[in-house]
Structure 1
Amino acid sequence: MYHPRPTLLCLLLLGLLTTAFATACDDDDDFAPASDALELVAEIEGVQITGITVTDEGRVFGTFPRWREGVPYTLAEIVDGQPVPYPSTEMNNWDIGDAPTDKLVNVQSAIAVGDTLYVDDTRNPLMNGLITAPRIHLIDLRTNSLLRTYDLPDGTTYPETYVNDLRVDRTRQLVYFTDSGRGGLMVLDLTTGNSWRVLDGHPSVQAEFDTLVIDGDPFMMETPSDGIALDSTGDRLLYHALSGYTLYSVPLDALADSSATDVGSEVTTVATTPAPDGLWRVPGATLMADLENQSVVRVTDGGNVTTLVEGEGVGWADTFTEYDGYLYFTNSRIPESDSTVAGMLYPIWRLPLR
């Protein structure tokens, strides 16, 4: 079991943070550190950001879930350091209590793959339960127009489902999701539009505890399957409960078989880790947060944990993406954010990968 360190390296939010990174190498090789600055990409004031993705052309998109009333947009492009509602202000023009129209209700995650932005609209504002079936929107990044929308119906989802992270398997034309409301994985076939649920009720998708300890203080958080990462080389999906210390994997072929009845037998334990939110895969290792120690770590498949950067500015490292040799991530400041976030600053960081 991973045990949090008793002390933290406290750094100023806007100061330079010491980082350590290494070129991905063989699983059990020593990790060679390098000192670089953690760079501030943008700060979002008064609107809580969780998800981030960067396109092949360097466009940055963020997601802003409606966990409270008055969130002005739930999907935005970061332009000159400022969020611009995407794909339009009109599509983001929805608030708690409005009728569930075709507008974006509660976007948790989005990921850019090629010329397409895959957008997860949980349709579960305030995390109080679904108001309609969750929707997956595909947006053409060249024209900024909607290509197609998929619904995740009953059976794939439950009333308490909260569609959290997603990854796109271009080879199989499948999208994989975690359910952070009930616990489980979901699969969408982009060709047929069919979807199915796997590992429902399996121990690997359940929370292991109900309280994190952050900077010595307890923080109630009992969240099952949350972060996922696609390991294309190993043909597997890695996944992790937020409230847990275990990283699991399952073969992509097992997920692709909608008729499979015993996917649980294919699950393997990858490593014991800190408690994370999102995940990002590099050769031989997984990058993730150590939420209890306000840091980002590298965990090899052999279970070797190395701290890359830490401090108050890192905070609740939520979602990761990679572009042009940098790891981008958000600090969603979840333990600090209650119903009112006016005046709070939510940073987007980038960290050199080398």
Structure 2
Amino acid sequence: MKPPLIAASALLLSACASQTPRPPTDSPLVVAAESREQIWNGVALAEDGRVFVAGPRWTGTRGPALAHLDADGKPHAFPDEAWNAWTPGGDAQRAFVNINAIHREPDDSLWVIDTGSPDFGGAPLPGGAKVVRIELKSGTVSRVYPLGADIATPQSYVDDIRIHDKTGYLTDAGRAGLIVLDLETGAARRVLDNHASTLAPQDRPIRLSGQTVKAPDGSVLRVNADPLELSADGQWLYFASLHGPWSRIETRWLRDASLSPEAVASHVEPWADLPPTGGTALDANGDLYFSDLAEDAIKKRTADGRIETVLVDPRLHWVDAPYLTQDGWLWLPVPQMDRVALFNGGQGKTTWPIQLLRLKVR
């Protein structure tokens, strides 16, 4: 699959106060798309190379919550306008309230994680927290998995998903824990609630440009269970708070509903001491690509545990969930999350335009 190059000049509207640093002439980064209206924290590519982007409502993003970028880089609501038309007071069950992540599976299905709350840290609206499956070939929603109040609790921020066979595994960055979703029955269970492996540690703050990121209330921002990956055979789930370090557990223990919380917790193992990261991508060889937030860098943890720096560049400032194509391109949304107004006393510090970058890694 050879993804199309999305025109970098698309979506350029009126100039903003700050500008993206000028790239060095020898940089391996390729600008795939830019926007002066939308903050994208997620990207996925269809089998035919179509590019999809999404971003959470609380960043101040305007435009569709989930969009397909055309050949000129212009966003179009996906799967349709209705799914992207939610407004306060509207039906939260059949519209996107707040998308935090998108994830494409090899069968060309796109999985959308809706936290269900339009506000950062707010309780999910009734029926709002959900997993939405979209068939990319037809552009239709094939199933909605509601996450009830016992799963997506008032303290929850359902974060991301990985899938193997008939099971989905999700992280909850609000109420620390994992969610196991049966994709056939739709039944969901919480596991590892408030376990050390899913809780944000007190001694690993998120720092960018030498500054500690603060929550809206002025306290140090702490993000519980956030990044996760599955081994290619589905045997191991790797996961962490945004801050690290990472743990792993065999998925058979997560799928066994007969086990007590203590029994499940006993199978958690330390895996990798990685720094705070905005997002990750795991390849079939077991190499994990991740953004090192403190260093504006993309790094790789090899299958044998070595850490290699792939690229350091000031434009890689809070790279969020990357997407790795089969032909070795790492797609990098750069939402600059620490610069949004929510984390800066209401004063946005985003360096415009927001960029979607590509980097050849193998």
Structure 2 partner of 1:314: 316
1:352 paired residue among 338, 352, 360: 360
More strand by share: 1
Relative distance call for 1:346 and 1:69 in structure 2 (3 A) is closer
Relative distance call for 1:343 and 1:286 in structure 2 (3 A) is closer
Indicate the RMSD between aligned Cα atoms, in angstroms. Answer: 2.3
Structure 2 partner of 1:258: 257
Structure 2 partner of 1:206: 199
Following TM superposition, by how much is the alpha carbon of 1:18 offset from its aligned partner in structure 2, in angstroms?
A: 6.6
Structure 2 partner of 1:285: 287
Relative distance call for 1:17 and 1:120 in structure 2 (3 A) is farther
Q: Distance in 1 between matches of 2:26 and 2:88?
A: 41
Q: Report 1:187-266 matches (<5 A).
A: 187-209=180-202, 211-220=205-214, 221-233=221-233, 235-244=235-244, 246-261=245-260, 262-266=263-267
Q: Distance in 1 between matches of 2:170 and 2:26?
A: 33
Q: Verify the 8 A CA contact 1:297 1:308 in the aligned structure 2.
A: yes
Q: Under a length normalisation based on structure 1, what TM-score does the superposition of the two structures give?
A: 0.85
Q: Match for 2:94: what amino acid? A: D
Q: Verify the 8 A CA contact 1:45 1:343 in the aligned structure 2.
A: no
Q: Distance in 1 between matches of 2:84 and 2:360?
A: 33
Q: Verify the 8 A CA contact 2:332 2:358 in the aligned structure 1.
A: yes
Q: Distance in 1 between matches of 2:87 and 2:25?
A: 37
Q: Verify the 8 A CA contact 2:231 2:286 in the aligned structure 1.
A: no
Q: Verify the 8 A CA contact 1:47 1:341 in the aligned structure 2.
A: no
Cα deviation, 1:118-170, whole Å, max 9, x if unaligned, reads: 1111102112111124111111212111111111123322111111111111x
Following TM superposition, by how much is the alpha carbon of 1:46 offset from its aligned partner in structure 2, in angstroms?
A: 1.9
1:79 paired residue among 47, 70, 79: 70
Q: Does residue 121 in structure 1 map to residue 123 in structure 2?
A: no
Structure 2 partner of 1:33: none
Q: Distance in 1 between matches of 2:314 and 2:197?
A: 30
Identify unmatched segments of 5+ residues in structure 1: 1-11, 20-36
Structure 2 partner of 1:304: 306
Following TM superposition, by how much is the alpha carbon of 1:301 offset from its aligned partner in structure 2, in angstroms?
A: 4.8
Relative distance call for 1:332 and 1:289 in structure 2 (3 A) is same
SS of the residue 1:155 aligns to: coil
Following TM superposition, by how much is the alpha carbon of 1:257 offset from its aligned partner in structure 2, in angstroms?
A: 1.7
Relative distance call for 1:211 and 1:96 in structure 2 (3 A) is farther
Identify unmatched segments of 5+ residues in structure 2: 1-19, 215-220, 343-347
Following TM superposition, by how much is the alpha carbon of 1:87 offset from its aligned partner in structure 2, in angstroms?
A: 0.7
1:138 paired residue among 106, 125, 133: 133
Q: Match for 1:176: what amino acid? A: Y
SS of the residue 2:82 aligns to: coil
1:59 paired residue among 30, 50, 63: 50
Q: Distance in 2 between matches of 1:290 and 1:343?
A: 19
Q: Match for 2:66: what amino acid? A: L
Q: Match for 2:271: what amino acid? A: V
Q: Under a length normalisation based on structure 2, what TM-score does the superposition of the two structures give?
A: 0.83
Cα deviation, 1:237-273, whole Å, max 9, x if unaligned, reads: 11121123x1111111112222322211111111111
Q: Report 1:154-193 matches (<5 A).
A: 154-169=149-164, 172-193=165-186
Q: Verify the 8 A CA contact 2:55 2:61 in the aligned structure 1.
A: no
